[in-house]
Amino acid sequence: MTMVNLKINDMPVSVPEGSTILEAAQALGIKIPTLCHCKMDCLGVEHKAGSCRICVVELANRPTLAPSCCTPVAEGMVVKTNSQRAISARRTVLGLLLSNHPKDCLVCAMNQQCDLQRLAHEFDMHEVKYPGAQTEFPIDVSSGAIRRDMNKCVMCRRCETACNVVQTVGVLSGINRGFEATVGPEELKPLIETSCTFCGQCVVSCPVGALTEISYKDDVWREINDPSKHVVVQTAPSVRVALGEEFGLPAGSVTTGKMVAALRRLGFAKVFDTDFSADLTIMEEGTELINRIKTGKNLPLLTSCCPGWVNFFEHQFPDLLHMPSTAKSPQQMFGSIAKSYYAEKVGVAPKDMVVVSIMPCLAKKYEAARPEFEHNGVRDVDYVLSTRELASMIKEAGVMFNALKDEEYDNPLGESTGAAVIFGASGGVLEAALRTANDILSGKDIKEIDFVDIRGLEGIKEATVKVGGMDLRVAVCSGLGNARKLLTKIRKGEADYHAIEIMACPGGCINGGGQPYTGSNISILEKRKNAVYQVDKVMPIRKSHQNPSIAKLYKDYLGEPGSQLAHKLLHTHYFAR
């Protein structure tokens, strides 16, 4: 490795060729403030637009100040990071950003989590210097999932990198000129009219409050306090390994019991688990996989749990609509079963039952609102809250989360297996399906159930696995950019797989758009992932088909997987968009 020698603030430093001034300064323990720059490790890219100009430094022999985040070091370079000229320029630039930013920090969703606010604090800004016009863009809440308030945008363009480079969705781009320049869909259309998948990676990338989730907390509070309503809640697999972070617990803390207890304190009538319906998904999807393998038709089977991914293939691959499993996602299966089987059981009319989901995801908000998931005016799922919104409700209710004693889920929709909890990490859905398929095809209770080749944060994982004596070619893919690569191969006939799991968010639901903000710190993702598999490991039952409540559901109500009633309640169809 060629090393480059330079001096920063009179201190010599040697860094590998190709390093930036920012990195060289870090090597010396010198912090240069940044705003637009972001090592988006959780998305596998580095964003360095060089557009905010907060990180400018002074270089000998350069007439203008240099953006340290994207200026490569050169031999003999002489850098001043803290000269009067550099500091004063940074203050002026920050002052400009503040001059066109709403001062509603107290009521902003990103209050105390905002990079601009942090900078203003670090720079000790006491006044906003430039009075004058402020941009006035309408706030877009058309999607029901993502709120876009471009008046707060600082044009860092991280959302564009997430949308275009990582997810290859291509909805967001720079638009307009000069002072009116902003980021948005073409012609600043409402998001709902675009091919947005609502994966929410733009939201987690946004350093300010320009992109946030649309919150349904108030609606849920209202429903909980309506005595005529029976309000049940379901919790997605990955929420339990991330929620603790919002309460200062270390990343990877498993807080299932505390979460259940907290939900009861909030006033939900029953606390159920999406893991239950994840097991149910495996029964339906696994059966479908076995049938497709037996008939050799419509292969590969693509998983359909992830609503961001469903939106993506409906928009981008409408010619491949026969490939995804017709099984509804666990969230929607839960809603169907709650408002049929469970409602009958407890004698509550479906219209008086409210199903709330706690999801790591923003696309789930959109999914729950899809027209096909409503029957006779009753929605399968009524409200979807993100992990962050749940944390906020718990705080608002004054529940001391960390002091709560663990509690158990209610039954019957609260029982689940290890196969269900791993839905929360990339590879888990397929692993769960393989565990069940292996047993069913072989007719045995197979003990080797850890498919480690398809675990991990890599974007595309491929493996050939022995299932029921057959060699199955499978792939696991997370991140829509990776999905596009794989799907393009399939479309061209260059790949032959039996089954592929696809999740919209890189790494799976542990990195969902509704999860606590990670600051793109990938070690947090690693810990969440490890926690998911840790939970699986200690579960007494680790195969979906062995879940007793699921067996009872089929025996008492659905008949068998793929039955007519199962199809009516648990399967869906897709639309070319």
Check residue 5 for interaction with other proteins (CB under 8 A): no
Check residue 52 for interaction with other proteins (CB under 8 A): yes
- Say how far apart CA 532 and CA 512 lie, in whole Å: 14
Q: What is the β-pairing status of strands 56-59 and 66-67?
A: antiparallel
> Active-site residue among 122, 344, 372, 374?
372
* Collapsed DSSP state (helix, strand, coil) of residue 193: helix
The Cα diameter of the chain in Å comes to 81
Verify whether residue 68 is a known catalytic residue.
Answer: no
Residues near 336 by beta carbon (within 8 Å), at least 6 away in sequence: 328, 380, 569, 570
Nearer to other proteins, 68 or 417 (CB): 68
Residue 212: other Cβ atoms inside 10 A? 20
Stretch (H or E) spanning 121: helix 115-122
* Residue among 415, 310, 278, 424 nearest 360 (CA): 424
Contact predicate 441/428, CB 8 Å: no
Q: Which sign, positive or negative, has the C-alpha torsion 14, 15, 16, 21?
A: negative
Check residue 442 for interaction with other proteins (CB under 8 A): no
Nearer to other proteins, 71 or 332 (CB): 71
How many residues does this entry show for the chain?
577
Nearer to other proteins, 173 or 521 (CB): 173
Which residue from 75, 180, 406, 556 is in contact with other proteins, where contact means CB under 8 A?
Answer: 180
Residues near 526 by beta carbon (within 8 Å), at least 6 away in sequence: 457
Which residue from 11, 139, 179, 225 is in contact with other proteins, where contact means CB under 8 A?
Answer: 179
Nearer to other proteins, 181 or 346 (CB): 181
Which residue from 9, 39, 46, 50 is in contact with other proteins, where contact means CB under 8 A?
Answer: 50
Residues 138-167, interacting with other proteins (CB under 8 A)? 154-155
* Residue among 332, 287, 326, 325 nearest 561 (CA): 287
Residues 82-101, interacting with other proteins (CB under 8 A)? 85, 88-89, 92-93, 96-97, 99-100
Which residue from 5, 26, 113, 173 is in contact with other proteins, where contact means CB under 8 A?
Answer: 173
The number of CA neighbours under 13 Å toward the Cβ of 281 is 34
Verify whether residue 23 is a known catalytic residue.
Answer: no
| Region of 52-60, 144-152, 338-346, 552-560 interacting with other proteins (CB under 8 A) | 52-60
Residues near 282 by beta carbon (within 8 Å), at least 6 away in sequence: 419, 420, 429, 432, 433, 436, 544, 545
Check residue 70 for interaction with other proteins (CB under 8 A): yes
Verify whether residue 458 is a known catalytic residue.
Answer: no
Check residue 37 for interaction with other proteins (CB under 8 A): no
x/- site string to other proteins, residues 290 to 329, per CB under 8 A?
----------------------------------------
Nearer to other proteins, 182 or 215 (CB): 182
Verify whether residue 374 is a known catalytic residue.
Answer: no
Verify whether residue 305 is a known catalytic residue.
Answer: yes
Least separation in angstroms between CB 151 and other proteins? 13
Check residue 130 for interaction with other proteins (CB under 8 A): yes
Check residue 64 for interaction with other proteins (CB under 8 A): yes
- Say how far apart CA 497 and CA 466 lie, in whole Å: 14
Q: Which strands make up the sheet holding 3-8, listed edge to edge?
A: 11-16, 3-8, 78-80, 56-59, 66-67
Residues near 155 by beta carbon (within 8 Å), at least 6 away in sequence: 36, 51, 52, 174, 181, 182, 183
Check residue 19 for interaction with other proteins (CB under 8 A): no
Burial annotation 448-458 (CB, 10 A radius, 16+ → b, else e): ebebeebbbbb
Residues 400-429, interacting with other proteins (CB under 8 A)? none
> Active-site residue among 328, 364, 365, 527?
364
* Residue among 217, 211, 221, 84 nearest 517 (CA): 211
- Say how far apart CA 440 and CA 83 lie, in whole Å: 70
Which residue from 60, 133, 349, 452 is in contact with other proteins, where contact means CB under 8 A?
Answer: 133
Take residue 373 and report the two structure tokens written for it: 């998931």
- The conformational region for residue 519 under phi > 0 = left, psi -120 to 50 = alpha, else beta, is left
Contact predicate 417/547, CB 8 Å: yes
- Say how far apart CA 91 and CA 111 lie, in whole Å: 21
Nearer to other proteins, 56 or 305 (CB): 56
| Region of 37-45, 53-61, 75-83, 111-119 interacting with other proteins (CB under 8 A) | 53-61
> Active-site residue among 386, 416, 509, 544?
509
Nearer to other proteins, 85 or 466 (CB): 85
Verify whether residue 285 is a known catalytic residue.
Answer: yes
Task: DSSP for 100-118, please give it.
Answer: TS---GGG-TTTTT-HHHH
Check residue 65 for interaction with other proteins (CB under 8 A): yes
Check residue 28 for interaction with other proteins (CB under 8 A): no
Check residue 24 for interaction with other proteins (CB under 8 A): no
Least separation in angstroms between CB 179 and other proteins? 4
| Region of 49-57, 240-248, 509-517, 537-545 interacting with other proteins (CB under 8 A) | 49-57
Least separation in angstroms between CB 491 and other proteins? 23
Verify whether residue 213 is a known catalytic residue.
Answer: no
Nearer to other proteins, 53 or 527 (CB): 53
Check residue 132 for interaction with other proteins (CB under 8 A): yes
Verify whether residue 372 is a known catalytic residue.
Answer: yes
Nearer to other proteins, 154 or 282 (CB): 154
> Active-site residue among 114, 305, 477, 505?
305
Least separation in angstroms between CB 203 and other proteins? 22
* DSSP-derived secondary structure letter, 179: G
Residues that bind other proteins (CB under 8 A): 49-54, 56, 64-65, 67, 70-72, 85, 88-89, 92-93, 96-97, 99-100, 129-130, 132-133, 154-155, 173-182
Catalytic residues: 285, 288, 305, 325, 364, 367, 372, 509
